Amino acid sequence: MRIYKDHLILSGSKVKEALLLLNELSQDAILFVVDNEERLIGALTDGDVRRGLIKGFTIDSYIDEIIQDNPRFITKGENNLEKIIEYREEDFRVVPIVDENHKVVNVINFRLIRSYLPIDAVIMAGGRGQRLQPLTDITPKPLLKVGDKAIMEHNLDRLALFGIDDFWISVKYLGEQIEEYFGKGTEKNIKIEYVWENTPLGTIGAVSQIKNFEHDYILVTNSDLLTNIDYEQFFLEFIKQDADLAVLTIPYQVNVPYAVLETENSNVKSFKEKPTYTYYSNGGIYLVKKKMLDYIPKDTFFNATDLMEELIRNGLKVVSFPFSGYWLDVGKHEDFQKAQIDIKNIKL
């Protein structure tokens, strides 16, 4: 994984230095020119260098004389998804991310990721994993390997594929191993912080401890899920419905082998021959507006379903996002074995 600072070059550098960096970047050859505070000034490509040389500049000239001084960029923390989709469709592959001070804080590459969602992700990884004992006696469940990766690494990489780069991991049982395994996220070009649960806080209670989210939208997910969900579509549907909370739901069909009668006061009104009923189960992935997190009590055991009930009770909008793709909750030994088979055939 390329570190975003590989794309940065300091204003006042010479063309020769830029050429060396562009050569190293190969197919991703674009540099973003910054000042001493890493504020974005311009962009530079091979084409800009060629045009500069044709005009009479040399490799000892300063890059500031040939740069593009109005480069495209995305501002971190804002809902820029329409602009991101526009850039992607117009084949602008490498785009800098700047903060409110115009400092470059990341560079995204649509050759490597699919989107850049304005979301913080919280991964709940504090559970004991009792149903998977003895596998979890010395290894936390999120670090059990499915194929060549830990369960949670599949989960985290899927989120990062959609440009989510601000992560929080809630840990308790053997949390030191999780923190050592993922570190600060530098190798994956993301940022990871850890939330320690002194006592079990349920499936969302630990979120109340986080005060410095980067975005107005928060995704909370269980750590032991394997899925190929399109997180961009999840977010777009959330915005379209103007929801306060959206929950991923998994269809579950029940086939009744007999005719089912609808009755009223013993009178048969209608019947269905061997009907199939579809129910939707909680998929353990939630997208929520940040301000809704105020409903989570501090230092209290609190599940995501408790939050959903609280929001509904207060007249807020909770919606379902039905999902028919691949989804597996690796909770039991048979699930773990199924995951080992599935991973060979499904791209996550």
In this structure, what token pair is assigned to residue 150? 């830990």
Whole-Å CA distances, 312 to 221, 231, 292, 297, 300: 20, 24, 11, 16, 20
Q: Which ranges in 109-206 belong to alpha helices (H)?
A: 151-161, 175-182
CB 145 within 8 A of CB 103: no
Range of the domain at 253: 120-342
Same structural domain, 133 and 54: no
What is the structure's pLDDT at 278?
A: 82
Task: Tell me the pTM.
Answer: 0.88
CB 72 within 8 A of CB 87: yes
Same structural domain, 93 and 145: no
Residues 6+ apart with CB under 8 A from 48: 66, 67, 68
Q: Domain of 93: which CATH number? A: 3.10.580.10
Same structural domain, 49 and 179: no
Question: What's the structural domain count of the chain?
Answer: 2
Same structural domain, 128 and 276: yes
Same structural domain, 155 and 278: yes
Query: Which residues of the chain register pLDDT less than 50?
Result: none
What is the structure's pLDDT at 2?
A: 66
What is the structure's pLDDT at 269?
A: 81
What is the structure's pLDDT at 277?
A: 82
Length of the chain: 348
- Write out pLDDT tens, residues 37-55: 999 999 999 999 999 999 9
Answer with the one of 109, 137, 166 that is the final residue of a domain. Answer: 109
Q: Domain of 156: which CATH number? A: 3.90.550.10
Task: Answer whether residue 114 is part of any domain.
Answer: no
Peptide bond into 134 cis (omega under 30): yes
Q: What burial class does residue 242 get, using C-beta atoms within 10 Å of its C-beta: 0-12 exposed, 13-18 middle, 19+ buried?
A: exposed
Task: Answer whether residue 347 is part of any domain.
Answer: no
Task: Answer whether residue 115 is part of any domain.
Answer: no
Q: Give the DSSP letter of residue 297.
A: P
